[in-house]
Amino acid sequence: MSTTGIESWAVDLKDVGALYPFQGTEGLFLIIGVVLWIGWHVLQMRAEKADYDGIVGRHGDDASINEALEGD
Amino acid sequence: MEGNLNALTTVFTEFYYWATIPLMFFIHIGFCMYEVGASRRRNHMHTLMKNTMLIPLVTITFFFFGWWLYWAMPNGPWITGGLDLAAGAANTPWSETMGPNAGDRITGVFWAAFLLFSWTAASIVSGSVIERINSGAFWILAVVIGSVAWIIDAAWGWHYGGWMVQLLGYHDAYASGVIHAIAGGFALGILVVLGPRLGKFAADGTPRDINPHNPWMVCIGLFLIYAGFWGFYVACNVPIIDPPTIGGQITGDTWTATTIYLTPTTLGAITVNFLMSLSGGLLAGYLVSRGNAFWTYSGGLAGIITASAGNDLYHPIHAMIIGGFGTYCAYKLHFWVERKFKIDDAVGAVAVHGYAGFIGLVVCGFVLWGHPSSPYEGYATINPLGQFVGAIIMFFVLGFLPGWVIAKILATAGMLRIPKQVELLGLDFANNRDEQAAAADVRETEKAAV
């Protein structure tokens, strides 16, 4: 029993193809990967908006902006 | 992989493409350096992260669907044939050849070489939009250019069976159009919607200089891009192949290196032409900018980019002159477009990549007029009209148009541009303030310990 399907190297390499484990589940892992990718964008966009809202709320006054511009 | 010669060829090809990949990393290091160097102090770290995070996003999406597009779409589809599902099947994310596979040593390294081109396309766009784009919006745009638009153009015009090669005689050996013109056009499409940085233009429309905080760092960044460009050039070739494997009109058994179109060239040719076009660009950039370091270095890059379409075949002096000509035009066009259309391209990426790439394609059509675009029978030969149409497709159809449309959608959703106050405060404002507070706290503690 081996997750890769290879249980011994007593083989002719020309007969060997895929080496990775859990062959046959590529489609499932693709779905998981795509969900993670889309989810990352959603979480990131939410977090970025919240960050900017927070900055504008706390420091968006003229005095803070002028201070920041002086320091640039 | 039976037979010693076959084994040697395969392993050499595997190692050849692998070696291009760490070299091409330098392109990305260079882009990060010059983009951060061009930004103002209050935006440094966000600028760095905006560029850095395109790496994982373009990588995973290029694995998910970008690579399949390249193999499935050379016919359009429906221009010279349908979707090539047979070729695409071996390059889907669920294909056995996309994972560790003892029977396939090439797909992985070939995929990665193309992926580094994808990063480059997205990174070109990144510099032009600094200091006011929402990072999340940029990363969506990066996926569109890096894993969709450029790879479709590669299937059409940078593939031995691409419809543009067959019908137009399109020739773009080192990617003047398929990387640079498209990325420049895409950036321009975004910039039209995004608008300039606050303060870039006076009330009467006169552009102001927003100087890089560190011009030296910008120039060294460009120097690193030159270094990485070697990997880019080498990765555009097939290192060793014999005529029977090509299966075209070439007779005999003489092995050769070829372009991506499987047309013969040599590494020697592209090495000399790379250096001569770089030199032509540097010389012209220095003169036209009166010794401005940023534009001289950018001129070197524009020189290579202009000559790249035909650098497999040009005489070295052609490469030098073409590189210089493209640099001169790109420089002039940058400032003309800036004044005329109020476009704030923070690093000149549209000019250096977009205009130079476009011009390079057109020039190639004249200089290589009549040369066979392919070793296969029935393909159009290289010609000015085909190259001009190709340049339009690259810059406008697959570049400007998708960039403009996606940016417009993001802008309509209020997601494209950061709030005005944040732009003025600086993207790093909150981090900088926290760091200053932490430093002050430590300082006070240390003073108390005296």
CB B147 within 8 A of CB B83: no
pLDDT at res. B434: 85
Phi, psi of B405 (to 5 degrees): -65, -50
Q: How far is A28 from chain B (nearest CA, A)?
A: 9
CB B393 within 8 A of CB B153: yes
Q: pLDDT band for position B431 (50/70/90)?
A: confident
3-state secondary structure B65-95: HHHHHHHHCCCCCCCCCCCCHHHHHCCCCCC
Residue whose pair of structure tokens reads 């009166």 in the numeric block: B290
> How does B23-51 read in b/e, with b if 16+ C-beta sit within 10 Å?
bbbbbbebbbbbbbbbbbebbbebbbebb
Give residues with Cβ within 8 angstroms of B45, minimum separation 6.
B427, B428, B431
| pLDDT tops 60 at residue B385 | yes
Structure tokens at B210: 């927003």
CA distance B44 to B50: 10
A34, A48, A71 ranked by CB distance to B64: nearest? A34
| pLDDT tops 60 at residue B1 | no
| pLDDT tops 90 at residue B4 | no
pLDDT at res. B397: 98
Subunit contact B421:A59, Cβ cutoff 8 A? yes
Mean pLDDT, rounded, of chain B: 96
HSE-CB at B58 with a 13 A cutoff on CA atoms is: 33
For the ranges B123-127, B261-265, B425-429, the lowest mean pLDDT is seen at B425-429
Averages of pLDDT over runs of 10 residues in chain A (72 residues) are 94 94 97 98 97 93 86 67
pLDDT at res. B2: 61
| pLDDT tops 80 at residue B440 | yes
pTM of the model: 0.96
Structure tokens at B237: 């070739």
Subunit contact A65:B425, Cβ cutoff 8 A? yes
Helices (H) and strands (E) in chain B, counts: 21, 3
From the CB of residue A30, how many other CB atoms can be counted at a distance below 10 Å? 16
pLDDT at res. B27: 97
Residues B299-349 have pLDDT tens digits of 999 999 999 999 999 999 999 999 999 999 999 999 999 999 999 999 999
What are B's interface residues with A at a Cβ cutoff of 8 A?
A: 1-2, 40-42, 57, 60-61, 63-64, 93-96, 99-104, 134-136, 139-140, 415, 418-419, 421-422, 424-426, 429-430, 433
Tell me whether 0.90 is exceeded by the ipTM: yes
Residues B63-88 have pLDDT tens digits of 999 999 999 999 999 999 999 999 99
Q: Which chain B residues are Cβ-neighbours of A13 within 8 angstroms?
A: 1, 102
